[in-house]
Structure 1
Amino acid sequence: MRDAPRSPIDPGDDHVPVPPATAPRRVDVWSVVRVVVCAFGLLSLAYWGYLTWPYPFPALFFIVGAPLFAAVVWYFFRSPHSPIETDVVGKTIVEVALVVAAGATWISLGHPAVGLVFVVVAAASGIVAARRETA
């Protein structure tokens, strides 16, 4: 009887659970672009708060608050590990809103070319990410 219950102090062939081997994550160009787009979007919101609002009180609130709010919204509704289940349409709406907000910061700062390039690159990386998630 090999699978009979045993005492914890019995020596011998113990069945120690082995955690499943996790495959290493693929790091490709689109994954790197995705991380750069997210970081640039958060930095854009912080930079907008720095240049737009008078220092110290409103500026510090927006320098920290705008990127923090965007990161929390992304985590709750768009993240692959989000605690709130959201369908594809909801994830798309949240991502588009965050990308447009970050692009609009550059337009409001007087650099529409930077905002347009950011929105186009973010849209391309978002489409690739969405295709990978649904495949």
Structure 2
Amino acid sequence: MSAPQSPVDWSETPGPHAVRPRRTGAWDVLRAVVCAFGLFSLGYWGYLAWPFPLPALFFIVGAPLFAAVVWFFFRSPRSPVETDIVGKTIVEVALVVAAGAAWVSIGHPVVGLVFIVVAAVSGVVQFRREAR
């Protein structure tokens, strides 16, 4: 007597760790640009707002690094700290306002305001996509 066979062909079934390709759309690109510009904004603020060499270098490197670490721990899709939607919103708003305020403090309020508006729109779209 032969053993029963499954109707599924297991050779074509992907394993449990198979990676599905993720589609990258225009909103994902805008989101990446907003994040990169936010980090650039904090570094540029450190360059212009502080005297060179010691305090400036600390803020040129430290401000974007601190923002990136906070974003990774509390806002990133792969963050090690489980955060609800309210916590993610608070972290993102704080980082966006910090980058916008950096532009205002160095004398470019229009750049700061435009950045905050674009970041807010991309943030709302991202949160709506995550809430699905």
* TM-score after normalising by structure 1: 0.86
- Residue type at the aligned position of 2:78: H
Q: 1:63 aligns with which of 44, 56, 60?
A: 60
Matches within 5 A, 1:6-21: 18-20=14-16, 21=18
How many residue pairs get aligned? The number is: 123
Correspondence for 2:70: 73
The answer to whether 1:120 aligns with 2:114 is: no
* TM-score after normalising by structure 2: 0.88
The answer to whether 1:96 aligns with 2:93 is: yes
Correspondence for 2:28: 31
Sequence identity of aligned pairs in percent?
72
Secondary structure of 1:80's aligned partner: coil
Correspondence for 2:7: none
Larger gyration radius, structure 1 or structure 2? 1
Structure 1: stretches of 5+ with no match in the other structure: 4-14
| 1:22 Cα deviation after fit | 2.8
Secondary structure of 1:27's aligned partner: coil
Q: 2:49 aligns with which of 47, 52, 55?
A: 52
Q: CA RMSD in A?
A: 1.7
Runs of 4+ deviating beyond 4 Å: none
Secondary structure of 1:39's aligned partner: helix
Correspondence for 2:8: none
Correspondence for 2:83: 86
| 1:68 Cα deviation after fit | 0.2
Structure 2: stretches of 5+ with no match in the other structure: 5-10
Distance 1:124 1:75, change over 3 A: same
Q: Deviations over 1:57-111 (max 9, x none)?
A: 0000000000000000000000000000000000000000000000000000111
Q: Deviations over 1:24-71 (max 9, x none)?
A: 111111000000000000000000000010111000000000000000
